[in-house]
Amino acid sequence: MKTFNEYQEFAVSTAIYPESLKVIYPTIGLAGECGEVSEKVKKSIRDHNGLFKPKEIAMELGDVLWYVANIANDLGLTLEDIAFLNETKLIERIQNTIAKIVVRLIRTFFK
Protein backbone atom coordinates (compact mmCIF):
# COMPACT_ATOMS: atom_id res chain seq x y z
CA MET A 1 0.00 0.00 0.00
CA LYS A 2 1.40 3.34 -1.03
CA THR A 3 -1.49 5.80 -1.19
CA PHE A 4 -4.76 6.47 0.56
CA ASN A 5 -6.60 5.30 -2.53
CA GLU A 6 -4.69 2.01 -2.58
CA TYR A 7 -5.58 1.50 1.07
CA GLN A 8 -9.20 2.33 0.28
CA GLU A 9 -9.29 -0.27 -2.49
CA PHE A 10 -7.99 -2.86 -0.02
CA ALA A 11 -10.44 -1.82 2.71
CA VAL A 12 -13.38 -1.99 0.32
CA SER A 13 -12.31 -5.46 -0.81
CA THR A 14 -12.63 -6.69 2.80
CA ALA A 15 -16.03 -5.10 3.50
CA ILE A 16 -18.94 -7.44 4.05
CA TYR A 17 -22.28 -5.73 4.54
CA PRO A 18 -25.53 -5.60 2.60
CA GLU A 19 -25.77 -3.28 -0.39
CA SER A 20 -29.00 -1.94 1.12
CA LEU A 21 -27.03 -0.68 4.13
CA LYS A 22 -24.38 1.24 2.23
CA VAL A 23 -23.25 4.30 4.18
CA ILE A 24 -25.47 3.33 7.15
CA TYR A 25 -23.61 0.19 8.25
CA PRO A 26 -20.11 1.67 8.12
CA THR A 27 -21.27 4.90 9.75
CA ILE A 28 -22.60 2.98 12.74
CA GLY A 29 -19.33 1.05 12.85
CA LEU A 30 -17.36 4.31 12.72
CA ALA A 31 -19.23 5.62 15.75
CA GLY A 32 -18.34 2.47 17.67
CA GLU A 33 -14.67 2.63 16.71
CA CYS A 34 -14.44 6.31 17.69
CA GLY A 35 -15.74 5.22 21.08
CA GLU A 36 -13.01 2.58 21.28
CA VAL A 37 -10.33 5.22 20.56
CA SER A 38 -11.82 7.34 23.35
CA GLU A 39 -11.80 4.34 25.70
CA LYS A 40 -8.09 3.70 25.05
CA VAL A 41 -7.30 7.31 25.84
CA LYS A 42 -9.51 7.28 28.94
CA LYS A 43 -7.91 4.07 30.23
CA SER A 44 -4.45 5.54 29.63
CA ILE A 45 -5.40 8.38 31.95
CA ARG A 46 -7.12 6.17 34.51
CA ASP A 47 -4.76 3.19 34.57
CA HIS A 48 -1.41 4.47 33.34
CA ASN A 49 -1.08 8.02 34.68
CA GLY A 50 -1.79 9.50 31.26
CA LEU A 51 0.89 7.49 29.50
CA PHE A 52 -0.59 6.54 26.17
CA LYS A 53 0.01 3.25 24.44
CA PRO A 54 0.43 4.50 20.87
CA LYS A 55 0.26 1.06 19.25
CA GLU A 56 -3.07 0.23 20.96
CA ILE A 57 -4.55 3.57 19.94
CA ALA A 58 -3.15 3.18 16.42
CA MET A 59 -4.92 -0.17 16.07
CA GLU A 60 -8.24 1.50 16.87
CA LEU A 61 -7.45 4.42 14.56
CA GLY A 62 -6.84 1.86 11.83
CA ASP A 63 -10.37 0.58 12.36
CA VAL A 64 -11.63 4.18 12.14
CA LEU A 65 -9.78 4.57 8.85
CA TRP A 66 -11.31 1.34 7.51
CA TYR A 67 -14.82 2.64 8.18
CA VAL A 68 -14.03 6.08 6.73
CA ALA A 69 -12.65 4.41 3.60
CA ASN A 70 -15.83 2.40 3.16
CA ILE A 71 -18.18 5.31 3.85
CA ALA A 72 -16.28 7.35 1.28
CA ASN A 73 -16.49 4.53 -1.25
CA ASP A 74 -20.22 4.14 -0.65
CA LEU A 75 -20.61 7.85 -1.40
CA GLY A 76 -18.50 7.62 -4.56
CA LEU A 77 -15.54 9.44 -3.02
CA THR A 78 -11.91 8.52 -2.60
CA LEU A 79 -9.85 9.14 0.51
CA GLU A 80 -7.68 11.43 -1.59
CA ASP A 81 -10.81 13.42 -2.54
CA ILE A 82 -11.65 13.78 1.14
CA ALA A 83 -8.09 14.76 2.09
CA PHE A 84 -8.09 17.42 -0.64
CA LEU A 85 -11.49 18.79 0.42
CA ASN A 86 -10.39 18.89 4.06
CA GLU A 87 -7.12 20.60 3.18
CA THR A 88 -9.03 23.23 1.20
CA LYS A 89 -11.44 23.78 4.10
CA LEU A 90 -8.58 24.19 6.57
CA ILE A 91 -6.75 26.66 4.31
CA GLU A 92 -9.95 28.71 3.96
CA ARG A 93 -10.41 28.64 7.73
CA ILE A 94 -6.85 29.89 8.27
CA GLN A 95 -7.34 32.62 5.65
CA ASN A 96 -10.61 33.70 7.31
CA THR A 97 -8.94 33.77 10.72
CA ILE A 98 -6.08 35.89 9.40
CA ALA A 99 -8.54 38.24 7.72
CA LYS A 100 -10.46 38.67 11.00
CA ILE A 101 -7.24 39.39 12.88
CA VAL A 102 -6.21 41.99 10.29
CA VAL A 103 -9.62 43.67 10.50
CA ARG A 104 -9.36 43.79 14.31
CA LEU A 105 -5.87 45.26 14.12
CA ILE A 106 -6.97 47.90 11.62
CA ARG A 107 -9.97 48.82 13.79
CA THR A 108 -7.76 48.98 16.87
CA PHE A 109 -5.00 51.11 15.38
CA PHE A 110 -7.00 53.30 13.03
CA LYS A 111 -9.89 54.44 15.21
Helix axes 79-109, 4-14, angle to 10 degrees: 130
For residue range 8-34, list pLDDT tens digits in order: 999 999 999 999 999 999 999 999 999
Residue percentage of the chain with pLDDT more than 70: 99
When pLDDT is cut at 50, 70 and 90, the band that residue 67 belongs to is very high
- In this prediction the pTM is 0.85
DSSP 47-87: HSTT---HHHHHHHHHHHHHHHHHHHHHTT--HHHHHHHHH
Q: Give the integer Cα–Cα distance in Å for 73 and 41.
A: 29
Q: Give the integer Cα–Cα distance in Å for 12 and 109.
A: 56
Calculate the average pLDDT of the chain. 95
Q: Give the integer Cα–Cα distance in Å for 4 and 10.
A: 10
Which candidate, 42, 66, 65, 69, places its Cα nearest to that of 53? Answer: 42
For residue range 76-100, list pLDDT tens digits in order: 999 999 999 999 999 999 999 999 9
Q: What's the mean pLDDT in 43-64?
A: 95
